[in-house]
Amino acid sequence: MSNPPTFDVVVVGAGMVGAACAYYATRAGLRTVLVDRGPVAGGTTGAGEGNLLVSDKAPGPELDLALLSLRLWRGLIAELGAELGADGACEYEPKGGLVVASGADGMRALEGFAERQRSSGVDAVPVPADALHDLEPQLAPGLAGGVHYPQDAQVQPALAAARLVRAARRQGAELRLGTAVTGLLRGSGGEVRGVVTDRGELHAPAVVNAAGTWGGELAALAGVRLPVLPRRGFVLVTEPLPARTVRHKVYAADYVADVASDSAALQTSAVVEATAAGPVLIGASRERVGFDRTFSPAAARRLAAQAVALFPGLARVAVMRGYLGFRPYLPDHLPAIGADPRAPGLLHACGHEGAGIGLAPATGYLLAQALTGTATELDLAPFRPDRFPEEAAP
């Protein structure tokens, strides 16, 4: 009988975060296998908009992670293009973001927020009301002003994940799709020693939980609690529009408050952006309703109305379709990144909510440093997986 495959690390979850973990682990010289019960980008990643944002993040650990990720994204685009040729593109657009305020009070709050971000290294440029249309000619009149964030960017998320998986495989990583993890292998001292799948065992001294909204279920297989919950969101897709109808990623200032909210109720704040193919994407809604995939006309109507309030010309544009996805939400809005002291051998890379595309490179990069015993470039203490009370309900 042949021995089960042996690796240095098993990464569970082939979304954008798992792809980044596999890429950087393999680049660090670790024998890596990436496992997913479905296809690459079959979960949250495939339902995302591809946001690479600093504009919505207050100074602190998440912003530090985002700034590191933006630097790494630029390097990845150059590396993947050189390695994979023309088809290595992932529709990366350093288009910048524009956050607008409708009234004087909102503008004062936005300027204060931007000032705090600048102290942490964010390029945040105030835009007076009379200059908004220089950046976005189709914007509604009467807005109080805004802040321009040149660092904000966008990728096509499913394509980006697929390209990164391909690059990891070219470096030696193995890929096991359609392979469900059903259990964790444990050593004599309780340490994690690999995974049990519906296609056999995979042995490794390290397992990375990059299972997104199912990260809590994977953690439970190790007997530890990680209170990841799905937060549903809808995106509307318009008919193709002429290039530069919308030039930046544009949203109203209340979007930042919605991202940070703990409410389970439906919240909507329009984020409007064009794609390379021509359609405009309109998000973003948030609500905690479990994994309910029922389409919500109320959410769609609210998003459409808010988008038209920002860009009145969209009232004459057809919406071709809408889709939904589930963001992996943790109660303090920070991802879980790093080793879990409650289950030696288990590391986490999940709970990024709607920021996973943007934060994936830094997550994978830092985990590779942790796996190889290298001092991590950022302190992982704020992202500790065991920071949540064991007795509290999710």
* CATH code for position 260: 3.30.9.10
Answer yes or no: is 3 within a domain.
no
CA-based Rg of the chain, rounded to a whole angstrom? 21
| Boundary residue ending a domain (135, 150, 165) | 150
Interatomic CA distance for residues 197 and 119, integer angstroms: 47
Q: What is the residue range of 130's domain?
A: 97-150
| Residues forming beta bridges with residue 252, ordered by sequence position | 100
Specify the pLDDT at position 90.
Answer: 85
Which CATH number fits the domain that encloses residue 221? Answer: 3.50.50.60
Specify the pLDDT at position 80.
Answer: 79
Same domain for 194 and 49, yes or no, is: yes
Interatomic CA distance for residues 131 and 124, integer angstroms: 15
Specify the pLDDT at position 111.
Answer: 95
**What proportion of the chain, given as a percentage, has pLDDT over 70?**
94
Specify the pLDDT at position 78.
Answer: 86
Residue type, 274: A
Strand bridging mode 174-176 / 32-35: parallel
Q: For 211-237, give one letter per residue: b (16+ CB within 10 A) or e.
A: bbbbbbebbebbebbbbbbbbbbbbbb
Same domain for 217 and 238, yes or no, is: no
Answer yes or no: is 91 within a domain.
no
Question: What is the tens place of the pLDDT at every residue in 292-313?
Answer: 999 999 999 999 999 999 999 9
State the average pLDDT for the chain: 93
User: Looking at per-residue confidence, does 270 or 241 come out higher?
Assistant: 241
Answer yes or no: is 253 within a domain.
yes
Question: What is the tens place of the pLDDT at every residue in 206-219?
Answer: 999 999 999 999 99
The predicted model gives 39-48 an average pLDDT of 95
Answer yes or no: is 268 within a domain.
yes
Answer yes or no: is 77 within a domain.
no
Tell me which H or E stretch contains 224.
Answer: none
Interatomic CA distance for residues 382 and 394, integer angstroms: 19
The predicted model gives 142-158 an average pLDDT of 96
Same domain for 308 and 206, yes or no, is: no
Burial class (CB in 10 A: 0-12, 13-18, 19+), 191: middle
Same domain for 65 and 161, yes or no, is: yes
User: Which candidate, 381, 269, 338, places its Cα nearest to that of 21?
Assistant: 338
User: Which candidate, 26, 106, 388, places its Cα nearest to that of 219?
Assistant: 388
Q: How far is CA 210 from CA 43, 67, 202, 217, 346, in A?
A: 11, 21, 16, 11, 11
Same domain for 242 and 301, yes or no, is: yes
Residue 88 in this model has a pLDDT that exceeds 60: no
- Which range has the worst mean pLDDT, 63-72, 170-179, 250-259? 250-259
Same domain for 247 and 289, yes or no, is: yes
pLDDT-derived band of residue 394, with 50, 70 and 90 as boundaries?
very low
Specify the pLDDT at position 260.
Answer: 53
Answer yes or no: is 2 within a domain.
no
Same domain for 204 and 139, yes or no, is: no
Residue 108 in this model has a pLDDT that exceeds 70: yes
The sign of the torsion formed by the CA atoms of 9, 15, 17, 20 equals positive
Domains: count for the chain: 3
Answer yes or no: is 108 within a domain.
yes
Answer yes or no: is 1 within a domain.
no
pLDDT-derived band of residue 390, with 50, 70 and 90 as boundaries?
confident
Same domain for 320 and 233, yes or no, is: yes
Specify the pLDDT at position 2.
Answer: 54
Taking residue 389's Cβ as centre, other Cβ atoms within 10 Å add up to 10
Q: How far is CA 385 from CA 157, 336, 350, in A?
A: 25, 5, 9
Same domain for 126 and 194, yes or no, is: no
User: Which candidate, 212, 31, 207, 188, places its Cα nearest to that of 196?
Assistant: 207
Same domain for 274 and 296, yes or no, is: yes
Specify the pLDDT at position 392.
Answer: 44
